Amino acid sequence: MARKFRGTETVKVDGKGRMSIPARLRRVFDAGDPSFSGANTGRTQLVAVYGPDWWNWLELYTIEAIEQIDEQIDRLTRGSQERRWLELLMNGQSTDLEIDREGRLVLPAKLRDRLGFADGTETIFESRGDYIQVYHPESRPKDVQALEDFAASKGPEFDPRAFLQQSSEG
């Protein structure tokens, strides 16, 4: 079973678009890259999904996680709307990145511009299990509001861990 990302971190962007990945998150990226050599001679590979224009965040996936997603997409019917949409999102609206030897991730200028990550900008790295969601702290991801609305519809006493029992029964 692949290691999961946990926690939330604030990370600054420097003038060259570099962000230092916190060590505990970097270890998950390293473990999720089958070609990473551990001897610090290689650079950890990952995939950034930037999504459609209305997304105001990035999703950073380990190589293992993105390969699992690719396998799931490949099992969908070729030419189906679902497969075409997922191929566009996960392949066409993404880019390969790497973490350098100093533990930094360099974001391409087009992604920095899209998200408003200028020199000195603080970003939020929020764990989502098998990926990290990265966003500007003044612009919460638009999908979070939908999750908060869903949670509110369950009532103030609802414990979301109840979903775990349902998933193990099915």
Domain ranges of the chain: 8-140
The pLDDT score that the predictor gives to residue 12 is 95
The pLDDT score that the predictor gives to residue 38 is 60
Whole-number CA gyration radius for the chain: 17
On whether the 8-140 domain is CATH 3.60.150.10, my answer is: no
Give percent of the chain with pLDDT exceeding 90. 71
Q: CA triplet 24, 30, 35: central angle to 5 degrees? A: 175
Pick from 42-46, 47-51, 119-123 the range whose average pLDDT is largest.
Answer: 47-51
The pLDDT score that the predictor gives to residue 168 is 53
Rounding to the nearest 10 degrees, give the CA dihedral for residues 37, 20, 25, 134: -130
The residues pairing with 45 across neighbouring beta strands, listed in sequence order, are: 98
- pLDDT tens digit string along 58-98? 999 999 999 999 999 999 999 999 999 999 999 999 999 99
User: Looking at residue 90, what DSSP letter applies?
Assistant: I
Whole-number Å distance between alpha carbons of 103 and 22 = 8
Whether 103 shows a pLDDT value over 80: the answer reads: yes
Whole-number Å distance between alpha carbons of 7 and 64 = 20
Mean predicted lDDT score pLDDT of the chain: 90
More confident residue, 9 or 162: 9
More confident residue, 80 or 158: 80
The answer to whether residues 23 and 44 touch, using CB atoms and an 8 Å cutoff, is no
H helix runs in 21-131, sequence order: 23-31, 63-74, 81-87, 109-115
The pLDDT score that the predictor gives to residue 76 is 97
Q: pTM, whole model, 2 decimals?
A: 0.88
- Two structure tokens written together for 29: 């990226």
Q: How far is CA 42 from the centre of its chain?
A: 21
More confident residue, 158 or 46: 46
